[in-house]
C-alpha cells in the first residue's frame, strides 16, 4: 500500500530572525493551504494512504477541514498516533513512525532545522522538503501541488533505484568527548557564548568557526560565510571548515534574509569524508546546527566534526516529474503520439 507522510512544523519560520531580518513570513494558515494542495495532488495521483503529523496549531486538521467534499482524500488520510509536545520531538517521532510504517516518501514543511530533525528519524525514506522556514538551504521553494505529484511518484515506485529521482545529502556528524551526539545537514558553527537563548543564530560577532557540507553564494545563513569565498555544491564529495577572527580576510556574508555581516576568515580547510576535524577550544561555547544553538561545551569538553556522505535521500522534484511523464503517469485514456 502506497504511503506518503506529511510533517508540517508549525514553529518553522517564527524565530527571532523574523524580527532581526527581512525574511518571508509563512504563517500556519499558509502552511495549511500548502498541505491542502499537497493532499489534492496525492489524492489525484491515487496514493492509498496519507498520514500527517499532529501539532498544536492543527495544520493538517485545518487542511483537511477545507476538503470536506473530497471524500476520497478524507478516507485515506489520518493523523500519526504520537503525543504532541510542541517541540523537536514531534518531528523526530513522526519521521521514525513513518519510517517504521513503510512510507515511500515524507513531505516536510519547514526550514533547514526541521529537515535536520526529520533526517535523524527517516532512515532510508526519501524526504521532500518544502520551504516554510527562515534559512532554507535544503528545502525547495516549490508549489505544494508539484511537491505532492512528485512525492506520489516516488512513493509509488519503490522498485526503482533511488538515484533515479533522489540524491544523497551529506551530513556533518558532531562528536563530543569521543561520542557522536548529533548531526547537521548544512553547517555546524562554534559560537563564543554560554547561552542557547532563542536558539536561532543571527549575529556574526559570536562566530569562531564554521563547518559546512555545502555552501553556495545564493544560500542564506551561516553556510554563506564559506559560500561567498569557496562554493561547494550538494553533489561535491567534500566540505570545508573555516576559522573566524576579526583580523582575518573580510567578506560580506548574508547570514539571514536581507541581513549582511562582515566576517573575518583566518583559515579555510577542505573537509574529507570520515576524518574528524577539531573544534577550536574556545570555552564556554555553543555549537549551532543548521542555524540553531543546540550543544553547550564546557571547559573540559573536546569536540570534533566529521563529514559523512550517507545522509538522507532528498527528492529531486524535477527529475521525479520528468520520469513520471516518461512513464505516462499523467495520461488518462490514450498515449499521445509524437508529431
> Which residue ranges make up each domain of the chain?
3-169+312-326, 171-308
State the pLDDT at residue 337.
52
Grid coordinates of 227? 559560500
Class of domain 171-308 as given by CATH: mainly beta
Grid coordinates of 337? 503520439
State the pLDDT at residue 336.
47
Grid look-up 515524507 returns 106
Contact 179, 276 (CB under 8 A): no
State the pLDDT at residue 202.
62
Q: H/E element holding 147? A: helix 144-155
- Residues 68-119 pLDDT 10s: 999 999 999 999 999 999 999 999 999 999 999 999 999 999 999 999 999 9
Q: H/E element holding 294? A: strand 292-297
pTM: 0.92
State the pLDDT at residue 299.
87
- Residue 286 half-sphere exposure, CB side, CA atoms within 13 Å? 18
CA distances for 153 relative to 123, 209, 249, angstroms: 19, 41, 47
What CA–CA distance (Å, rounded) separates 183 from 335? Answer: 47
Q: Which residues of the chain have pLDDT under 50?
A: 14-22, 334-336, 339
First-to-last alpha carbon distance for the chain, in angstroms, is 37
The CATH architecture to which 3-169+312-326 belongs is: 3-Layer(aba) Sandwich (3.40)
Amino acid at each position: 500500500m502506497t504511503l506518503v507522510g506529511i510533517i508540517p512544523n508549525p514553529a518553522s519560520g517564527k524565530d527571532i530572525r523574523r524580527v532581526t531580518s527581512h525574511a518571508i513570513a509563512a504563517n500556519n494558515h499558509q502552511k495549511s493551504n500548502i498541505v491542502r494542495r499537497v493532499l489534492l495532488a496525492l489524492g489525484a495521483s491515487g496514493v492509498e494512504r496519507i498520514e500527517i503529523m499532529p501539532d498544536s496549531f492543527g495544520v493538517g486538521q485545518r487542511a483537511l477541514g477545507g476538503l470536506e467534499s473530497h471524500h476520497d482524500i478524507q478516507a485515506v488520510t489520518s493523523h500519526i498516533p504520537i503525543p504532541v509536545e510542541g517541540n523537536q520531538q514531534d518531528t523526530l517521532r513522526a519521521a521514525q513512525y513513518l519510517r517504521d510504517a513503510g512510507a515511500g516518501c515524507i513531505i516536510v514543511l519547514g526550514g533547514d532545522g526541521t529537515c535536520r530533525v526529520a533526517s535523524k528519524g527517516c532512515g532510508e525514506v526519501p524526504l521532500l522538503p518544502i520551504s516554510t522556514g527562515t534559512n532554507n538551504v535544503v528545502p525547495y521553494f516549490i508549489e505544494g501541488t508539484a511537491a505532492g505529484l512528485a512525492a506520489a511518484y516516488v512513493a509509488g515506485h519503490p522498485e526503482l533505484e533511488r538515484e533515479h529521482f533522489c540524491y544523497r545529502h551529506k551530513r556533518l556528524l558532531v562528536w563530543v568527548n569521543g561520542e557522536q551526539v548529533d548531526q547537521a545537514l548544512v553547517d555546524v558553527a562554534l559560537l563564543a557564548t554560554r547561552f542557547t537563548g532563542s536558539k536561532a543564530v543571527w549575529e556574526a560577532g559570536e562566530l569562531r568557526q564554521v563547518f559546512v557540507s555545502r555552501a553556495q553564494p545564493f544560500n542564506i545563513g551561516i553556510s554563506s560565510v564559506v559560500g561567498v569565498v569557496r562554493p561547494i555544491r550538494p553533489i561535491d564529495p567534500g566540505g570545508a571548515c573555516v576559522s573566524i577572527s576579526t583580523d582575518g580576510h573580510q567578506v560580506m556574508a548574508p547570514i539571514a534574509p536581507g541581513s549582511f555581516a562582515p566576517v573575518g576568515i583566518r583559515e579555510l580547510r577542505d573537509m574529507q569524508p570520515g576524518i574528524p576535524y577539531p573544534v577550536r577550544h574556545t570555552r564556554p561555547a555553543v555549537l549551532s546546527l543548521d542555524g540553531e544553538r543546540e550543544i553547550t561545551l564546557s571547559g573540559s569538553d573536546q569536540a570534533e566534526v566529521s563529514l559523512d556522505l550517507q545522509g538522507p535521500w532528498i527528492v529531486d522534484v524535477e527529475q521525479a516529474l520528468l520520469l513520471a511523464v516518461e512513464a505516462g503517469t499523467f495520461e488518462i485514456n490514450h498515449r499521445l503520439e509524437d508529431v
